[in-house]
Amino acid sequence: MNSYATRQPTESSVAPEEDAGTAPLMDLDELRRAAEQITANVESVIDGKHEAVQTALVVLLAEGHLLIEDVPGVGKTMLAKSLAKSVDCTVSRIQFTPDLLPSDVTGVSVYNQAERRFEFKPGAIFANIVIGDEINRASPKTQSALLECMEERQVTVDGSTYPLAAPFIVVATQNPVEMEGTYALPEAQRDRFMARIAMGYPDEDSELAMLTTRDTSSPLSRIRPVVTSDELRAMMVTARAVFASTPVKQYAVDLVRATREDRDLRLGASPRATLQLIRAAKAMAALAGRDFVLPDDVDALAVPVLGHRLLPTSRALGHHHESAPVIADIVRRIVASTPVPVGSGGAAAPGATGR
Protein backbone atom coordinates (compact mmCIF):
# COMPACT_ATOMS: atom_id res chain seq x y z
CA MET A 1 0.00 0.00 0.00
CA ASN A 2 1.51 3.33 -1.07
CA SER A 3 0.10 5.48 1.69
CA TYR A 4 0.98 6.12 5.28
CA ALA A 5 -0.28 8.35 8.03
CA THR A 6 0.84 10.16 11.13
CA ARG A 7 -1.63 10.04 14.00
CA GLN A 8 -3.77 8.01 11.61
CA PRO A 9 -7.28 7.28 12.91
CA THR A 10 -8.49 3.78 13.53
CA GLU A 11 -11.74 2.25 12.38
CA SER A 12 -13.53 3.98 15.25
CA SER A 13 -12.92 7.34 13.57
CA VAL A 14 -15.37 6.40 10.84
CA ALA A 15 -18.08 7.54 13.24
CA PRO A 16 -19.09 11.15 12.63
CA GLU A 17 -17.32 13.79 14.69
CA GLU A 18 -18.69 17.07 15.98
CA ASP A 19 -19.41 19.27 13.01
CA ALA A 20 -17.31 22.42 12.75
CA GLY A 21 -20.50 24.46 12.53
CA THR A 22 -21.46 23.57 16.14
CA ALA A 23 -18.30 25.08 17.66
CA PRO A 24 -18.63 28.36 19.59
CA LEU A 25 -17.66 31.69 18.04
CA MET A 26 -14.22 33.10 18.81
CA ASP A 27 -13.33 36.73 19.42
CA LEU A 28 -11.65 38.19 16.34
CA ASP A 29 -8.62 39.36 18.31
CA GLU A 30 -8.19 35.84 19.64
CA LEU A 31 -8.55 34.47 16.12
CA ARG A 32 -5.83 36.80 14.84
CA ARG A 33 -3.46 35.75 17.62
CA ALA A 34 -4.02 32.08 16.85
CA ALA A 35 -3.54 32.73 13.13
CA GLU A 36 -0.31 34.60 13.81
CA GLN A 37 0.96 31.61 15.80
CA ILE A 38 0.22 29.28 12.89
CA THR A 39 1.86 31.68 10.44
CA ALA A 40 4.99 31.99 12.58
CA ASN A 41 5.13 28.21 12.94
CA VAL A 42 4.94 27.63 9.19
CA GLU A 43 7.30 30.47 8.28
CA SER A 44 9.92 29.05 10.63
CA VAL A 45 10.50 26.37 7.98
CA ILE A 46 9.25 28.17 4.84
CA ASP A 47 11.47 31.15 4.05
CA GLY A 48 10.28 34.16 2.05
CA LYS A 49 6.83 32.84 1.09
CA HIS A 50 4.52 34.98 3.23
CA GLU A 51 1.84 35.42 0.54
CA ALA A 52 1.63 31.67 -0.12
CA VAL A 53 1.43 30.94 3.61
CA GLN A 54 -1.34 33.52 4.09
CA THR A 55 -3.39 32.09 1.24
CA ALA A 56 -2.96 28.60 2.68
CA LEU A 57 -4.18 29.90 6.05
CA VAL A 58 -7.21 31.53 4.41
CA VAL A 59 -8.14 28.19 2.82
CA LEU A 60 -7.66 26.42 6.16
CA LEU A 61 -10.02 28.82 7.98
CA ALA A 62 -12.56 28.61 5.15
CA GLU A 63 -12.45 24.79 5.44
CA GLY A 64 -11.57 24.51 1.78
CA HIS A 65 -9.12 22.31 -0.08
CA LEU A 66 -5.75 23.63 -1.23
CA LEU A 67 -3.76 22.75 -4.36
CA ILE A 68 -0.05 23.63 -4.34
CA GLU A 69 1.44 23.45 -7.82
CA ASP A 70 5.06 24.05 -8.76
CA VAL A 71 8.26 22.41 -9.93
CA PRO A 72 9.94 19.81 -7.66
CA GLY A 73 12.09 20.97 -4.78
CA VAL A 74 10.58 24.38 -3.96
CA GLY A 75 8.84 23.37 -0.71
CA LYS A 76 5.33 22.26 -1.70
CA THR A 77 5.28 19.28 0.65
CA MET A 78 7.11 21.25 3.34
CA LEU A 79 4.34 23.86 3.33
CA ALA A 80 1.62 21.20 3.46
CA LYS A 81 3.29 19.31 6.32
CA SER A 82 4.14 22.38 8.40
CA LEU A 83 0.57 23.68 8.08
CA ALA A 84 -0.86 20.31 9.10
CA LYS A 85 1.56 19.86 12.02
CA SER A 86 0.64 23.30 13.39
CA VAL A 87 -2.82 22.00 14.30
CA ASP A 88 -3.35 19.27 16.89
CA CYS A 89 -5.61 17.00 14.85
CA THR A 90 -5.40 13.78 12.88
CA VAL A 91 -3.10 14.07 9.86
CA SER A 92 -2.70 11.59 7.03
CA ARG A 93 -0.30 11.63 4.09
CA ILE A 94 -0.81 9.81 0.81
CA GLN A 95 2.04 9.47 -1.66
CA PHE A 96 0.30 9.29 -5.03
CA THR A 97 1.98 6.93 -7.50
CA PRO A 98 0.80 5.27 -10.73
CA ASP A 99 0.13 1.97 -8.92
CA LEU A 100 -1.88 3.50 -6.06
CA LEU A 101 -5.38 2.00 -5.90
CA PRO A 102 -8.62 3.83 -5.06
CA SER A 103 -9.10 1.47 -2.10
CA ASP A 104 -5.76 2.63 -0.68
CA VAL A 105 -7.29 6.09 -0.44
CA THR A 106 -10.88 5.43 0.61
CA GLY A 107 -10.67 2.07 2.37
CA VAL A 108 -11.82 -1.47 1.66
CA SER A 109 -14.24 -4.07 3.00
CA VAL A 110 -12.37 -7.09 4.39
CA TYR A 111 -14.03 -10.41 5.22
CA ASN A 112 -13.67 -11.40 8.88
CA GLN A 113 -13.69 -15.16 8.78
CA ALA A 114 -14.06 -15.52 12.55
CA GLU A 115 -17.21 -13.41 12.67
CA ARG A 116 -18.31 -14.32 9.14
CA ARG A 117 -18.98 -10.77 8.05
CA PHE A 118 -17.31 -7.96 6.14
CA GLU A 119 -15.56 -5.19 8.08
CA PHE A 120 -14.65 -1.81 6.69
CA LYS A 121 -10.99 -0.85 7.00
CA PRO A 122 -10.74 2.92 6.54
CA GLY A 123 -8.16 4.29 4.14
CA ALA A 124 -5.83 7.23 4.58
CA ILE A 125 -8.59 9.69 3.66
CA PHE A 126 -10.06 9.34 7.17
CA ALA A 127 -8.26 12.22 8.88
CA ASN A 128 -8.85 15.90 9.57
CA ILE A 129 -6.05 17.05 7.29
CA VAL A 130 -5.04 14.85 4.36
CA ILE A 131 -1.81 15.63 2.51
CA GLY A 132 -1.93 14.32 -1.05
CA ASP A 133 1.65 14.38 -2.32
CA GLU A 134 2.12 14.60 -6.10
CA ILE A 135 -1.56 13.98 -6.71
CA ASN A 136 -1.19 14.11 -10.49
CA ARG A 137 1.17 11.13 -10.56
CA ALA A 138 -1.72 8.78 -9.77
CA SER A 139 -3.98 7.34 -12.45
CA PRO A 140 -7.24 9.15 -13.27
CA LYS A 141 -9.15 6.27 -11.64
CA THR A 142 -7.40 6.85 -8.32
CA GLN A 143 -7.74 10.62 -8.62
CA SER A 144 -11.48 10.21 -9.03
CA ALA A 145 -11.66 8.46 -5.65
CA LEU A 146 -11.30 11.91 -4.09
CA LEU A 147 -14.31 13.46 -5.84
CA GLU A 148 -16.98 12.34 -3.37
CA CYS A 149 -14.65 12.84 -0.40
CA MET A 150 -13.82 16.45 -1.22
CA GLU A 151 -17.32 17.61 -2.11
CA GLU A 152 -19.63 15.59 0.14
CA ARG A 153 -17.15 14.77 2.93
CA GLN A 154 -18.11 11.13 2.90
CA VAL A 155 -16.94 7.84 1.39
CA THR A 156 -19.14 5.21 -0.24
CA VAL A 157 -17.70 1.69 -0.39
CA ASP A 158 -19.70 -1.39 -1.40
CA GLY A 159 -22.98 0.48 -1.03
CA SER A 160 -22.27 1.76 2.48
CA THR A 161 -21.57 5.42 3.23
CA TYR A 162 -19.09 6.52 5.88
CA PRO A 163 -18.83 10.17 7.02
CA LEU A 164 -15.41 11.78 7.15
CA ALA A 165 -13.94 13.66 10.07
CA ALA A 166 -14.90 17.28 10.71
CA PRO A 167 -13.13 19.43 9.80
CA PHE A 168 -11.88 17.69 6.66
CA ILE A 169 -9.29 19.41 4.49
CA VAL A 170 -7.20 18.12 1.59
CA VAL A 171 -3.86 19.81 0.93
CA ALA A 172 -2.54 18.41 -2.34
CA THR A 173 0.69 19.06 -4.20
CA GLN A 174 1.27 18.53 -7.88
CA ASN A 175 3.98 19.04 -10.46
CA PRO A 176 3.28 21.02 -13.64
CA VAL A 177 1.57 18.90 -16.28
CA GLU A 178 4.58 19.43 -18.53
CA MET A 179 6.62 17.16 -16.23
CA GLU A 180 7.07 13.50 -17.15
CA GLY A 181 4.87 10.88 -15.51
CA THR A 182 1.97 13.18 -14.68
CA TYR A 183 -1.76 12.86 -15.37
CA ALA A 184 -3.56 16.18 -15.67
CA LEU A 185 -6.30 16.64 -13.07
CA PRO A 186 -9.74 16.73 -14.72
CA GLU A 187 -11.81 19.89 -14.50
CA ALA A 188 -14.19 18.33 -11.95
CA GLN A 189 -11.28 17.54 -9.65
CA ARG A 190 -9.65 20.96 -9.94
CA ASP A 191 -12.98 22.67 -9.27
CA ARG A 192 -13.16 21.04 -5.84
CA PHE A 193 -10.04 22.83 -4.67
CA MET A 194 -10.84 26.20 -3.16
CA ALA A 195 -7.53 27.73 -4.21
CA ARG A 196 -4.31 26.98 -6.04
CA ILE A 197 -1.00 28.54 -5.10
CA ALA A 198 2.49 28.35 -6.55
CA MET A 199 5.57 28.44 -4.34
CA GLY A 200 8.08 29.85 -6.81
CA TYR A 201 11.82 29.86 -6.30
CA PRO A 202 13.10 31.56 -3.11
CA ASP A 203 14.96 34.84 -3.32
CA GLU A 204 18.73 34.86 -2.90
CA ASP A 205 18.71 35.75 0.81
CA SER A 206 16.13 33.07 1.66
CA GLU A 207 18.04 30.43 -0.29
CA LEU A 208 21.27 31.38 1.48
CA ALA A 209 19.57 31.28 4.90
CA MET A 210 18.18 27.84 4.06
CA LEU A 211 21.71 26.43 3.88
CA THR A 212 22.15 27.28 7.56
CA THR A 213 18.73 26.42 8.97
CA ARG A 214 18.45 23.05 7.21
CA ASP A 215 22.05 21.92 7.31
CA THR A 216 21.86 19.54 10.27
CA SER A 217 18.28 18.29 10.67
CA SER A 218 14.84 18.43 9.14
CA PRO A 219 13.15 21.72 10.09
CA LEU A 220 9.83 19.88 10.42
CA SER A 221 11.15 18.18 13.56
CA ARG A 222 10.91 21.55 15.33
CA ILE A 223 7.24 22.10 14.44
CA ARG A 224 4.80 21.63 17.31
CA PRO A 225 1.01 22.13 17.32
CA VAL A 226 0.03 25.66 18.32
CA VAL A 227 -3.75 25.32 17.86
CA THR A 228 -6.05 22.55 19.08
CA SER A 229 -8.70 20.97 16.88
CA ASP A 230 -11.42 22.65 18.97
CA GLU A 231 -9.76 26.04 18.46
CA LEU A 232 -9.54 25.39 14.73
CA ARG A 233 -13.26 24.57 14.61
CA ALA A 234 -14.02 27.81 16.46
CA MET A 235 -11.84 29.77 14.04
CA MET A 236 -13.69 28.23 11.10
CA VAL A 237 -17.11 29.03 12.56
CA THR A 238 -16.03 32.59 13.32
CA ALA A 239 -14.76 33.10 9.77
CA ARG A 240 -18.02 31.72 8.41
CA ALA A 241 -19.99 34.25 10.50
CA VAL A 242 -18.25 37.24 8.91
CA PHE A 243 -20.78 39.45 7.13
CA ALA A 244 -20.77 39.83 3.35
CA SER A 245 -23.10 42.56 2.10
CA THR A 246 -25.30 42.17 -0.95
CA PRO A 247 -23.13 44.55 -3.05
CA VAL A 248 -20.01 42.50 -2.24
CA LYS A 249 -21.81 39.28 -3.15
CA GLN A 250 -22.98 40.88 -6.39
CA TYR A 251 -19.38 41.93 -7.09
CA ALA A 252 -18.20 38.32 -6.68
CA VAL A 253 -20.99 37.12 -8.98
CA ASP A 254 -20.02 39.73 -11.58
CA LEU A 255 -16.38 38.62 -11.51
CA VAL A 256 -17.22 34.95 -11.91
CA ARG A 257 -19.79 35.56 -14.65
CA ALA A 258 -17.27 37.70 -16.52
CA THR A 259 -14.95 34.68 -16.79
CA ARG A 260 -17.70 32.78 -18.63
CA GLU A 261 -18.05 35.52 -21.24
CA ASP A 262 -14.40 36.48 -21.71
CA ARG A 263 -13.09 36.06 -25.26
CA ASP A 264 -9.78 34.61 -24.04
CA LEU A 265 -11.33 31.79 -22.00
CA ARG A 266 -12.93 28.64 -23.34
CA LEU A 267 -14.03 27.51 -19.87
CA GLY A 268 -15.17 29.94 -17.19
CA ALA A 269 -15.59 29.51 -13.45
CA SER A 270 -18.46 27.48 -12.01
CA PRO A 271 -21.10 28.54 -9.45
CA ARG A 272 -19.04 26.57 -6.93
CA ALA A 273 -16.27 29.10 -7.55
CA THR A 274 -18.61 31.93 -6.54
CA LEU A 275 -19.45 30.21 -3.26
CA GLN A 276 -15.83 29.49 -2.49
CA LEU A 277 -14.69 32.99 -3.42
CA ILE A 278 -17.04 34.49 -0.82
CA ARG A 279 -16.10 31.88 1.80
CA ALA A 280 -12.42 32.61 1.25
CA ALA A 281 -13.05 36.37 1.37
CA LYS A 282 -14.79 35.95 4.73
CA ALA A 283 -11.76 34.10 6.08
CA MET A 284 -9.43 36.82 4.80
CA ALA A 285 -11.55 39.50 6.46
CA ALA A 286 -11.45 37.58 9.76
CA LEU A 287 -7.66 37.35 9.54
CA ALA A 288 -7.58 41.13 9.11
CA GLY A 289 -9.70 41.56 12.25
CA ARG A 290 -12.84 42.64 10.40
CA ASP A 291 -16.33 41.22 10.78
CA PHE A 292 -17.32 42.26 7.26
CA VAL A 293 -15.96 41.58 3.77
CA LEU A 294 -14.54 44.28 1.51
CA PRO A 295 -14.19 44.14 -2.29
CA ASP A 296 -10.42 44.20 -1.66
CA ASP A 297 -10.73 40.76 -0.04
CA VAL A 298 -12.42 39.43 -3.16
CA ASP A 299 -9.83 41.06 -5.42
CA ALA A 300 -6.90 39.62 -3.47
CA LEU A 301 -8.26 36.09 -3.79
CA ALA A 302 -9.52 36.21 -7.37
CA VAL A 303 -6.40 34.68 -8.94
CA PRO A 304 -5.82 31.83 -6.43
CA VAL A 305 -9.52 30.94 -6.21
CA LEU A 306 -10.49 31.28 -9.88
CA GLY A 307 -7.28 30.65 -11.80
CA HIS A 308 -7.13 26.85 -11.67
CA ARG A 309 -10.75 26.53 -12.83
CA LEU A 310 -10.25 28.42 -16.09
CA LEU A 311 -9.04 27.21 -19.49
CA PRO A 312 -7.58 29.74 -21.95
CA THR A 313 -8.19 29.66 -25.68
CA SER A 314 -5.34 28.61 -27.94
CA ARG A 315 -5.16 32.18 -29.21
CA ALA A 316 -4.72 33.56 -25.69
CA LEU A 317 -2.14 30.92 -24.85
CA GLY A 318 -0.11 31.79 -27.93
CA HIS A 319 3.53 30.79 -27.63
CA HIS A 320 3.41 30.37 -23.84
CA HIS A 321 4.29 26.91 -22.53
CA GLU A 322 2.46 27.36 -19.22
CA SER A 323 -1.15 28.47 -18.92
CA ALA A 324 -1.07 29.69 -15.28
CA PRO A 325 0.61 33.08 -15.95
CA VAL A 326 -1.70 33.69 -18.91
CA ILE A 327 -4.79 32.91 -16.84
CA ALA A 328 -3.56 35.10 -13.98
CA ASP A 329 -3.23 38.05 -16.36
CA ILE A 330 -6.74 37.42 -17.70
CA VAL A 331 -8.21 37.31 -14.18
CA ARG A 332 -6.42 40.54 -13.23
CA ARG A 333 -7.79 42.20 -16.35
CA ILE A 334 -11.31 41.05 -15.46
CA VAL A 335 -10.91 42.35 -11.90
CA ALA A 336 -9.66 45.72 -13.18
CA SER A 337 -12.59 46.08 -15.60
CA THR A 338 -15.36 45.02 -13.19
CA PRO A 339 -17.03 47.96 -11.39
CA VAL A 340 -16.41 47.98 -7.64
CA PRO A 341 -19.57 48.45 -5.53
CA VAL A 342 -19.86 51.66 -3.53
CA GLY A 343 -20.63 51.43 0.18
CA SER A 344 -20.01 47.70 0.27
CA GLY A 345 -18.93 47.39 3.89
CA GLY A 346 -21.75 47.92 6.31
CA ALA A 347 -22.69 46.58 9.68
CA ALA A 348 -22.25 42.97 10.57
CA ALA A 349 -25.15 40.60 10.47
CA PRO A 350 -26.69 39.42 13.74
CA GLY A 351 -24.51 36.72 15.27
CA ALA A 352 -21.30 37.88 13.62
CA THR A 353 -18.42 38.58 15.95
CA GLY A 354 -17.03 41.99 16.73
CA ARG A 355 -13.58 43.08 17.64
Do 179 and 308 reside in the same domain of the chain?
Answer: no
Does residue 255 contact residue 277 with C-beta atoms inside 8 Å?
A: yes
**pLDDT value at 56 more than 60:** yes
Question: Which letter does DSSP use for residue 243 in this model?
Answer: B
DSSP letters for 41-86: HHHTTSTT-HHHHHHHHHHHHTT--EEEE--TTSSHHHHHHHHHHT
Residue 286: CB atoms within 10 A of its CB come to 29
How sure is the predictor about 300, in pLDDT bands with cuts at 50, 70 and 90? very high
Q: Which of 200, 143, 141 is nearest to 172 (CA)?
A: 143
- 9-35, pLDDT tens digit by residue? 444 344 444 455 567 889 999 999 999
Query: Where among 192, 217, 240 does a domain terminate?
Result: 240
Answer yes or no: are the C-beta atoms of 317 and 323 closer than 8 Å.
yes
- Mark whether 194 and 255 lie in a shared domain: no
Predicted confidence at residue 47, as pLDDT, reads 83
Q: How much is the mean pLDDT over the chain?
A: 88
Model confidence pLDDT, tens digit, residues 271-296? 999 999 999 999 999 999 999 999 99
Query: In the structure, what pLDDT confidence band is assigned to residue 1 with cuts at 50, 70 and 90?
Result: very low
In a domain, 254, yes or no: yes
**CATH number of the domain within which 266 lies:** 1.10.8.80
255 shares its domain with 192: no
178 and 85 in one domain?
A: yes
For residues 80, 82, 87, 91, the Cα torsion angle rounded to the nearest 10 degrees is 50
Query: Which structural domain, as residue segments, surrounds residue 34?
Result: 1-6+15-201+229-240
Query: Where do runs of H (alpha helix) occur along 137-177?
Result: 140-143, 146-152
Q: Specify whether 193 is located in the same domain as 334.
A: no
Does residue 27 lie within any of the structural domains? yes
In a domain, 328, yes or no: yes
Q: What is the pTM of this model?
A: 0.88
Measure the CA–CA gap between 140 and 153, rounded to whole angstroms: 20
Q: Is 347 domain-assigned? A: no
For β-strands 129-133 and 91-95, DSSP reports them as parallel
Residues 235 and 291 in one domain: no
Domain count, the chain: 2
Looking at the structure, tell me whether residues 107 and 255 fall in a common domain: no
Residue 80 pLDDT greater than 80, yes or no: yes
Question: What was the pLDDT predicted at 6?
Answer: 42
Q: Are 254 and 266 in contact (CB under 8 A)?
A: no
